[in-house]
Structure 1
Amino acid sequence: MRILAVGDIHGGLRGLIQIIERANVSSEDTLIFLGDYVDGWSQSAQVIQYLIELSKTNTCIFIKGNHDVWCQNWLASGVVNDIWFNNGGKETIESYEAFSKEEKLIHLDFFDAMALYHIDAENRLFLHAGFTSMHGVERELHKENFYFDRTLWEMALTLDKNIKQGSVRYPNRLKHYSEIYIGHTPTINFGEDQPMHCANVWNVDTGATFTGKLSAIDIDTKAIFQSDKLMDLYPNEIGRNKKK
Structure 2
Amino acid sequence: MSKTFVIGDIHGAVRALEQVLGKVETGKDDTLIFLGDYVDGWSESPQVIDFLLELEKARNCLFVQGNHDDFCYKWLRHGERNKQWLYHGGQATIDAYRGVGEATKKRHMDFLGRLHNYHLDAENRLFLHAGFTNLRGVEHEYFPEMFYWDRTLWEMALSLDTSLEREEYRYPARLSHYNEIFIGHTPVTRIGEMTPVNAANIWNVDTGAAFKGPLTVMDVDTKMFWQSDPVWELYPGENGRN
TM-score by length of 1: 0.96
CA distance in 1, matches of 2:55, 2:211: 25
Contact 2:21 2:217 (C-alpha < 8 Å) held by counterparts: no
CA distance in 1, matches of 2:21, 2:99: 25
Contact 1:150 1:185 (C-alpha < 8 Å) held by counterparts: yes
CA distance in 1, matches of 2:19, 2:228: 5
Residue 85 of structure 1 is matched in structure 2 by 86
Q: 1:24 aligns to what SS in structure 2?
A: coil
Amino acid at match of 2:49: I
1:32, distance to aligned residue in structure 2 (A): 0.3
1:164, distance to aligned residue in structure 2 (A): 2.5
1:166, distance to aligned residue in structure 2 (A): 2.8
Deviations 1:69-109 (A, max 9, x none): 00000010123222111111111111112321111111111
Amino acid at match of 2:29: E
1:168, distance to aligned residue in structure 2 (A): 2.5
> What does 1:219-234 align with in structure 2 at a 5 Å threshold?
219-234=220-235
CA distance in 2, matches of 1:227, 1:26: 20
Amino acid at match of 2:221: D
1:200, distance to aligned residue in structure 2 (A): 0.3
Residue 66 of structure 1 is matched in structure 2 by 67
Q: 2:52 aligns to what SS in structure 1?
A: helix
Residue 41 of structure 1 is matched in structure 2 by 42
Residue 9 of structure 1 is matched in structure 2 by 10
Aligned length: 241
Q: Please, which moves more after superposition, 167-176 or 30-39?
A: 167-176
Contact 1:129 1:182 (C-alpha < 8 Å) held by counterparts: yes
Contact 1:2 1:30 (C-alpha < 8 Å) held by counterparts: yes
Amino acid at match of 2:9: D
Q: 1:126 aligns to what SS in structure 2?
A: strand
Deviations 1:26-68 (A, max 9, x none): 3232100000000000000100110011011101110000000
Q: Please, which moves more after superposition, 182-191 or 78-87?
A: 78-87
> What does 1:155-234 align with in structure 2 at a 5 Å threshold?
155-234=156-235
Amino acid at match of 1:22: K
> What does 1:7-156 align with in structure 2 at a 5 Å threshold?
7-156=8-157
The percentage of aligned residue pairs carrying the same residue is 51
Q: 1:84 aligns to what SS in structure 2?
A: helix
Q: Please, which moves more after superposition, 135-144 or 21-30?
A: 21-30
Contact 1:46 1:95 (C-alpha < 8 Å) held by counterparts: no
Q: 1:55 aligns to what SS in structure 2?
A: helix
- CA RMSD in angstroms comes to 1.1
CA distance in 2, matches of 1:26, 1:92: 32
Structure 1: where are the runs of 5+ without partners?
A: none
Amino acid at match of 2:143: H
Deviations 1:133-189 (A, max 9, x none): 100011111111111100000000011222232333211111110000000000000
Structure 2: where are the runs of 5+ without partners?
A: none
